[in-house]
């Protein structure tokens, strides 16, 4: 990687390897909006790539040494880029500064008032809630999110306001690069098993992140989740602990949740603020279903209050957030069957989304098409994934999506399937993803909800399932 202090200089004419990825595209977009001459490459064309081209970026499909311009000032990579990538090798050979995505994002946040959103689950949703609500209030924040809000390329924006909201990824410890004024930690659980061997390593990593909070800044953290409470205890004993603001249903919370009342696919939330935050009792609407999303909204409210945004103004603005792609996103309805896409891939996320969607199913059934993500995660959490799937009325489980990993001998989606079956689930293995639309069309009845669930390419099946449901044969 480039030596310390070179990231800003390297971002004048940057080349992104894997520019179409969720995280990389956001950084590239903000740079392009700020006037940088952006180029990049990706393995395939996509609407996100198209959105970057509309901003003036030059994007090549496929990796080749010649893709890197002669006057490129830096090459930006993520942890997913392998050392033998042809463009990365070329950058080293030509002496071009190589910058990790996290260093590039940290450079973008210089001179702003950053809010960094961390945690094992809920980062994208909470970051999105803040970005949307702050824009609704006219504060014009900059933001980089790990998923599109609506249109392709909407995961990031350069704003003229002083606030910068960013999703902070703990998976590869890259969130250690940020120096937020306000850090949100939603939860702390064991995940990313290729990089963390134990909860002690997880806690140590989050402690380092907390230690990066700017002097006079604040830590916003859950008062309910056990891992978050343990982390709070660990960081509170430091020499210069940050200001800690807790949120949740626990009586001790600085922003205490008094009630979450579901209303179909929305919720009404009532909170009481501590005297240090004004002591008000506020009721507001969260326009997405589920207790976990309601709590994400309360985390966003608390962070805004920590930054000085009046809670009484931010609370109603949070209702303007209506969801983000892949987070219980309705893809469409056909033959009386709703098809919804979920990014959930960790057992806690799977259970939370299934519980949330159950409230909107009425008398209908919840049918899941689940694709395990990563061999390492399935090896460690496959049993728990299967247990969570038992909350569905029926599930179809695909083969593991490998992403950046090589296969692990003996680790297959059978771990998930066997665990689900042991817990009484109606579960079917399907090794041919092309067969899924036909399979689901034979299972689904009017009133049912179908969830495509996982962090891989299972999301592509939603439109195919809808098309099959709409066909005359159904």
Determine phi and psi for 326, rounding to 5 degrees. Answer: 75, 0
Residue list, annotated binding site? 119-125
- CA 392 → CA 350, 358, 373, distances in Å? 10, 9, 19
Query: In the chain, pLDDT over 90 holds for what percent of residues?
Result: 74
CA-CA distance, 136 to 320, in Å (whole number)? 7
Q: Are residues 305 and 340 in the same domain?
A: no
Average pLDDT, the chain: 91
pLDDT, one tens digit per residue, over 341-391 is 988 888 988 988 898 788 667 788 999 999 999 999 899 899 999 999 999
- For residue 266, count CB atoms less than 10 angstroms from its CB and return exposed for 0-12, middle for 13-18, buried for 19 or more: middle
- Residues 262, 136, single domain; the answer is yes
pLDDT of 176 above 60: yes
Say yes or no to pLDDT of 265 above 80.
no
- How does DSSP assign 240-276, residue by residue? SPPEEEEEESSTT-SEEEEEEEEETTEEEEEEEE-GG
Cβ-proximal residues to 34 (8 Å cutoff; 6+ apart), any chain: 108, 158
In a shared domain, residues 128 and 241: yes
**pLDDT, tens digit (0-9, with 9 covering 90-100), for 306-354:** 999 999 999 999 998 877 666 678 888 999 999 999 888 889 889 888 9
| Of residues 250 and 357, more confidently modeled | 250
pLDDT at position 5, please? 38
Residue with tokens 């040494």: 65
CATH number (domain holding residue 345): 3.90.190.20
- State percent of the chain over pLDDT 70: 95
Q: CATH number of the domain at 231, please.
A: 3.40.1190.10
What is the distance between the alpha carbons of residues 267 and 245, in angstroms, rounded to a whole number?
A: 23
Residue 105 belongs to some domain of the structure = no
> Both 227 and 339 in a single domain?
no
Which of 301, 320, 339 is where one domain is finished? Answer: 320
- Quick one: which of 370, 339, 343, 357 has its CA closest to 464? 339
Q: Do residues 369 and 307 share a domain?
A: no
pLDDT tens-place string over residues 108-121 = 999 999 999 999 88
Distance CA 210, CA 232 (A): 10
pLDDT at residue 451 greater than cutoff 70 = yes
pLDDT at 198 over 50: yes
Which segments are annotated as binding site for ATP? Answer: 119-125
Range of the domain at 426: 327-470
Asked whether the predicted pLDDT for residue 135 surpasses 90, the reply is yes
Examine the domain organization and report whether 177 and 42 are in the same domain.
no
Mean pLDDT, to the nearest integer, of 76-81? Answer: 91
The yes-or-no verdict on residue 25 having pLDDT over 80 is yes
C-alpha 413, offset from chain centre: 23
84 and 155 belong to one structural domain: no
Looking at the structure, tell me whether residues 153 and 299 fall in a common domain: yes
Residue 194: inside a domain? yes
* Nearest C-alpha neighbor of 81 from the set 132, 15, 144: 15
Which residues, other chains included, contact 444 with Cβ-Cβ below 8 Å and sequence gap of 6+?
A: 335, 337, 367, 450, 469
Q: Are residues 371 and 230 in the same domain?
A: no
Chain centre to alpha carbon of residue 44: 22
What is the mean pLDDT of the segment spanning 447-451? Answer: 93
Whether 118 and 237 map to the same domain: the answer is: yes
Point out the domain boundary residue: 78, 100, 122. Answer: 100
> Number of structural domains, the chain?
3
Residue that is last in its domain, among 72, 100, 128: 100
Q: Which residues are catalytic?
A: 123-124, 167
252 with 160, same domain: the answer is: yes
What is the tens place of the pLDDT at every residue in 203-242?
A: 999 999 999 999 999 999 999 999 999 999 999 876 778 8
């Amino acid at each position: 990687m480039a030596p310390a202090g070179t990231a800003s200089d390297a971002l004048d004419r940057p080349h992104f390897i894997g520019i179409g990825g969720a995280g990389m595209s956001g950084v590239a977009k903000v740079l392009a909006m700020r006037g940088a001459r952006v180029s990049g490459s990706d393995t395939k064309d996509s609407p996100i790539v198209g959105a970057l081209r509309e901003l003036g970026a030059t994007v090549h499909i496929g990796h080749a040494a010649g893709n890197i311009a002669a006057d490129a000032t830096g090459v930006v990579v993520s942890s997913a880029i392998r050392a033998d990538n042809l463009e990365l090798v070329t950058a080293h050979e030509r002496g071009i500064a190589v910058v990790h995505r996290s260093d590039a994002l940290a450079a973008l946040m210089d001179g702003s008032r950053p809010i960094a959103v961390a945690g094992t689950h809920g980062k994208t949703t909470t970051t999105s809630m803040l970005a949307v609500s702050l824009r609704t209030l006219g504060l014009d924040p900059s933001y980089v999110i790990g998923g599109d809000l609506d249109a392709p390329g909407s995961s990031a924006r350069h704003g003229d306001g002083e606030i910068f909201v960013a999703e902070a990824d703990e998976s590869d410890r890259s969130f250690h690069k940020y120096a937020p004024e306000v850090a949100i930690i939603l939860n702390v659980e064991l995940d990313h098993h290729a990089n963390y061997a134990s909860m002690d390593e997880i806690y140590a990593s989050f402690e380092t992140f907390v230690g990066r909070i700017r002097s006079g800044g604040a830590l916003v953290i859950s008062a309910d989740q056990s891992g978050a409470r343990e982390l709070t205890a660990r960081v509170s004993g430091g020499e210069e602990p940050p200001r800690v603001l807790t949120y949740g249903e626990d009586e001790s919370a600085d922003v205490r949740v008094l009630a979450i009342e579901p209303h179909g696919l929305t919720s009404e939330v009532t909170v009481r603020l501590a005297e240090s935050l004004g002591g008000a009792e506020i009721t507001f609407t969260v326009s997405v279903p589920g207790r976990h999303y309601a709590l994400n909204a309360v985390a966003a409210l608390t962070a805004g209050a920590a930054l000085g945004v009046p809670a009484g103004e931010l609370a109603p603005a949070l209702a303007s957030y209506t969801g983000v792609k892949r987070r219980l996103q309705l893809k469409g309805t056909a033959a009386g069957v709703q098809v919804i896409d979920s990014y959930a891939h960790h057992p806690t996320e799977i259970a939370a989304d299934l519980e949330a969607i159950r409230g909107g199913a009425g008398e209908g059934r919840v049918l899941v098409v689940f694709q395990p993500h990563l061999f390492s995660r399935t090896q460690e959490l496959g049993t728990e994934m299967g247990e969570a799937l038992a909350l569905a009325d029926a599930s179809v489980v695909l083969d593991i999506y490998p992403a950046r990993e090589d296969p692990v001998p003996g680790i297959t989606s059978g771990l998930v399937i066997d665990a689900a079956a042991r817990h009484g689930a109606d579960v079917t293995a399907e090794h041919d993803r092309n067969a899924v639309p036909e399979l689901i069309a034979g299972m689904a009845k009017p009133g049912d909800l179908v969830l495509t669930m996982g962090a891989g390419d299972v999301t592509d099946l939603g439109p195919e399932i809808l098309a099959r449901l709409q066909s005359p044969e159904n």
